[in-house]
Structure 1
């Protein structure tokens, strides 16, 4: 019997926490907006995420970041390849330099 009382107390504390931090109001506002939406979205979860701000970065921003990442990856790959080529060229001259310095 003690567990039931303790469990209810924890639930009540959690409810107060959600109310105090504005979570209840935020969820209520989003659900009301979804309810009042004339054309219900196909994906209600995406609607809720976008209206709560949980989506974070917009899809346009994500696409721009992906494009930047691809460009930077290509630059990185080109620099790695250039570095390999330069190391190979340097390796060709190093043995000759060492032989000449031994005289």
Structure 2
């Protein structure tokens, strides 16, 4: 015989909501940070309040920066090749006529 427990259903629904919204990940990250603190703060609640709002960069910002890095790397490679080609066209630099004298 199966008993229907609406409290468990609501609890599970709420847990899924917290997981979907990122609350569980954020809480886990902050609590792990507290656990890894070498010197535990005297007020753990203050620690949570200070660190709960800190998030990483926005995903869209990260993607824009990755694209920019890729473009800049290509530009550096292009300029390096151009530099090498221009250096090859230059006449060789004359060697110093003076040799260091041996005493």
**Short-chain TM bin:** 0.3 to 0.5
Bigger helix share: 1
Give me the TM-score of the superposition, normalised by structure 2. 0.48
